[in-house]
Chain A
Amino acid sequence: MRRTPEPIAWTGHVLILAVACIFPFVFPSPFMVNFGVLALFYAFIGQSWNIAGGFAGQLSFGHVVFFGAGAYASTILQVRFGVNPWIGLPVSAVAGGLVGWLIGYLSFRAGLRGSYFALITLAFAEMLRIIANSVEITGGGLGLLIPAKPSVANFQFSERVGFYFLILVLVTVSIAIAIWLKHSRFGAQLAAIRENEDAARALGINVFSEKLKILILSGALGGIGGCFFSQYFLYIDPIIVFGVDKSVEMLLVSMIGGAGTVYGPLIGAVLLAAISDTARVVTNIQGLSLVIYGGLLILIIAFLPNGLIDLIQRLTKRRPK
């Protein structure tokens, strides 16, 4: 049973941001900076899932669909049409948002909720994967390669740290959005929809419209994540950006960290990146980190359904037990 956690004071937010800013200077090695980028990246795409799944209760199993839409939109523009890659950022947001609108409109019109909604998002992601795998403009199964030309104007940073601070900005924006949701009328209505759609409707909330709005926002964020990913790794293909793995990761970091909380995805992401990097260094067995993570998901749902944030707050006695 969740009790309302005390809101973190503004000093808390600033402190966390400050720590994140200092991080790459305290740990400047390429390994650590990469860890930082990955952790923040997962935090960002996790937050994209979280605002729809955690805040509004619209769990999706195919959230990668927004990610992939953004990744392909910005990459195609860049690679096929020579458009400046920074334009890709807003374009990917629009692409993700559009897909969010489409899926939301169709699914919510049909009254899909809960598990059915989760599954249909999976089907949409799979459908887009197949399309991306089959048409020329996306490079089909071979994917798209972005030529490496490191320069800020080209949305590629010669120093990894550049990417770190970019993703930090994005994460900060996503956290700001989450904080806004926690305090706004919109957010309260989403919480009501999450808890009990029919009761929300009976109070005058236009459930369809609110769900659609949050899915569009969630999609836009997911799309931006796709754009960032493309610029960081310089290669995308249907499996990477429309495959199930990213969907799972977006869901996992939020659920384990704490769905519906502001910092849940960040906590989950740091943990995932840590487990992933540690596993890779220590044993190099592929799949180990996700076994741990999957097991964690089960444990969390079983014993700590409000996520690790709940545990942290209980331990630091932020609120009475």
Chain B
Amino acid sequence: MDSTILISAALNGLLVGGIYTLVASGLTLIYGVLHIINFAHGSLLMMGMFGVYYLLIKLRLDPYISMLIMVPAMYAIGYVLYKGLIGRFSSGKDENILLITLGLSIVLENLALMFFKGDTRTITVGYSDTMVELGPLLFSLPKVISFFIAMLLCALLGLYIKKSNTGKAIRAVAKERMGARLVGIDVDRIFAISYGIGVATLGAAACLLMPIFYVSPYTGHVFVLVAFTVVVLGGMGSFLGAVVGGLIVGLTESFGGLFLGESLGQIGISLIFILILLFRPQGLFGARG
């Protein structure tokens, strides 16, 4: 096989992988802090993407610009969801909260079906077809932009968690809930904030994905497994893991499509997920047990 095709596939995979990292970082943050597996992650992303779609259609807002609206809006939605629903059960049995988020994802998905119907939607903006040249290789401009913004946001998020006061409180709660409470941290508020941030990352990811992907009420399913695979591969609660995992998953998807064809190529992700859970459930960087 021609090496340019291989390199192109690799780089394209990495570009998309960067966005997967952003999606997964929200999921891993939620798990790391609240210890809940947010099954609604995919459908929340799907809702975000519909949001971006309509912001473009109705208000003619460029998707990258609408991040300024989407991120705070999704943060607020996440915060409210936690306070109103998730928070009541986050201390219960592990499976209960999983079922609650499952219920949430069912509701969101079918609400989308009711209001937006089942068709897939894509958006086109002025630069949708613009290509970036890198030697003999061509890359879609939106993909490149999305990748760099995704990486930037991940870095910013990482910095925020590391340096800011709230970030430190979040890390404290993630590490030792009881201790954090004893030191006076309002743990419940941190939970709400963390869930909010987790959903906010989806708002950003939605803006980055719409120019290069499509949305339909069913896209939630697609992204749920991808996000979980990244998180499980990288290690639940590990930020570095989300970065590495995202890139690996992006590469796998790209090479899978290249070598196995469009249909069978998708199998790489499920396969990674299964193999990791069976043989190294803590992932690459996660804590054992």
Write the A4-26 contact mask toward B (1 if CB under 8 angstroms, else 0). 00000000000000000000000
**Nearest chain-B residue to A119 (Cβ)?**
B228
Question: Does B263 interact with chain A (Cβ within 8 Å)?
Answer: yes
If A122-B225, A297-B99 are given as contacts, then 15 extra A-B residue pairs at C-beta distance below 8 Å, sorted by A number, are: A59-B95, A59-B98, A110-B277, A112-B277, A112-B281, A127-B270, A130-B263, A130-B264, A134-B261, A134-B263, A141-B263, A244-B221, A252-B106, A287-B114, A295-B103
**Per-position 1/0 for B263-287, Cβ under 8 A of A:** 1101100110110011101000000
**B113–A298 CB distance below 8 A:** no
Residue of B nearest to A290 (CB): B110
Contact between chains at A118 and B103 (CB < 8 Å):
no
Query: Residues of A contacting B113 with CB < 8 Å?
Result: 286-287, 290
Interface residues of B in 55-80 (CB under 8 A from A): none
A128 to chain B, nearest CB (A): 9
Point out which of B88, B89, B95, B102 has the most chain A C-beta atoms below 10 A from its C-beta: B102
Question: Is B145 in contact with chain A by the CB < 8 A criterion?
Answer: no
B274 touching A124, Cβ below 8 Å: yes
A66 at the interface (CB under 8 A from B): no
Name the A residues within 8 Å of B100 (CB-CB). 298, 301-302
On chain B, which size bracket covers the interface? Answer: 35 or more
What's the least CB distance linking B58 to chain A, in Å? 22
A-B contact count (CB 8 A): 121
Q: Is A255 an interface residue (CB 8 A)?
A: yes
List A258-290 residues whose CB lies under 8 Å from chain B.
Answer: 285-288, 290
* In-complex Cβ contact of A120 among B99, B107, B112, B274 (8 A): B274
Q: Which residues of B contact A127 (CB under 8 A)?
A: 267, 270-271, 274
Residue of A nearest to B99 (CB): A301
Q: Is the CB of A115 within 8 A of B95?
A: yes
**Interface assignment of A126: CB less than 8 Å from any CB of chain B:** yes
B267 partner residues in chain A, CB cutoff 8 A: 127, 130-131, 134
CA distance A105 to B163 in the complex (A): 46
Contact A301 B103 (CB under 8 A): yes
Please tell me if B37 contacts chain A, counting CB pairs below 8 Å. Answer: yes
Interface: A123 (CB within 8 A): yes
Residues in B neighbouring A59, C-beta threshold 8 A: 95, 98-99
* In the assembled complex, B104 has its CB within 8 A of some CB on chain A: yes
Which B1-55 residues have a C-beta within 8 angstroms of A?
37
Cα A286 to Cα B216 with chains together (Å): 14
B91 within 8 A of partner (CB): no
Q: Chain A interface secondary structure, helix, strand, loop or mixed?
A: helix
Q: Is B118 interfacial (CB-CB < 8 Å)?
A: yes
- How does the 8 Å CB contact mask read for A159-170 relative to B, with 1 for contact and 0 for none? 000000000000
Q: List 13 A-B contacts (CB under 8 A).
A: A110-B279, A114-B94, A115-B94, A116-B277, A133-B263, A134-B260, A244-B221, A255-B99, A285-B114, A287-B114, A291-B114, A294-B103, A301-B100
> Closest A-chain residue to B263, C-beta based?
A134
Return the CB mask of A97-114 against B: 1 if under 8 Å, else 0.
000000000110110101
Please report B residues at the A interface, Cβ cutoff 8 Å.
Answer: 37, 85, 88-89, 94-96, 98-100, 102-107, 109-114, 117-118, 217, 221, 225, 228, 260-261, 263-264, 266-267, 270-271, 273-274, 277-279, 281
Chain A residues positioned under 8 Å from B37 (CB to CB): 115, 119
A291–B111 CB distance below 8 A: yes
Chain A 288-321 interface mask (CB, 8 Å, partner B; 1/0): 1011011101100110010000000000000000
State the Cβ distance, A160 to closest chain B Cβ, in Å.
27
Interface size class of A (residues with CB under 8 A): 35 or more
CB distance from B97 to the nearest CB of A (A): 9
Which A residues contact B (CB, under 8 angstroms)?
A: 59, 61, 106-107, 109-110, 112, 114-116, 118-120, 122-124, 126-127, 130-131, 133-134, 140-141, 244, 248, 251-252, 255, 285-288, 290-291, 293-295, 297-298, 301-302, 305
Tell me the smallest distance from the CB of B105 to a CB of chain A, in Å.
8
Nearest-neighbour CB distance to chain B for A310, whole angstroms, equals 15
Q: B114 near A288 (CB under 8 angstroms)?
A: yes
Please state if A123 and B85 are interface contacts (CB–CB under 8 Å). no
Closest Cβ of chain B to A265, distance in Å, is 16
Given contacts A291-B111, A293-B106, contact A302 B98 (CB under 8 A): no
Q: Does the CB pair A294–B263 fall under 8 Å?
A: no
Bound CA span A255–B96, Å: 11
Residues of the B chain whose Cβ atoms lie less than 8 Å from the Cβ of A293: 106
Q: How far is the CA of A109 from the CA of B99 in the complex (A)?
A: 24
Chain B residues near A106 (CB, 8 Å)?
274, 278
Question: Closest 6 CB pairs between A and B?
Answer: A287-B113, A294-B106, A287-B110, A297-B103, A294-B107, A298-B103
Residues of chain A contacted by B111 (CB below 8 angstroms): 287, 291
- Determine the residue in chain A with the shortest Cβ distance to B268: A130
Closest to A239 in B: B218
Asked whether, in the complex, the Cβ of B278 is within 8 Å of the Cβ of A131, the reply is no
Query: Which of B89, B103, B281 is the most central at the interface, judged by chain A CB atoms within 10 Å of its CB?
Result: B103
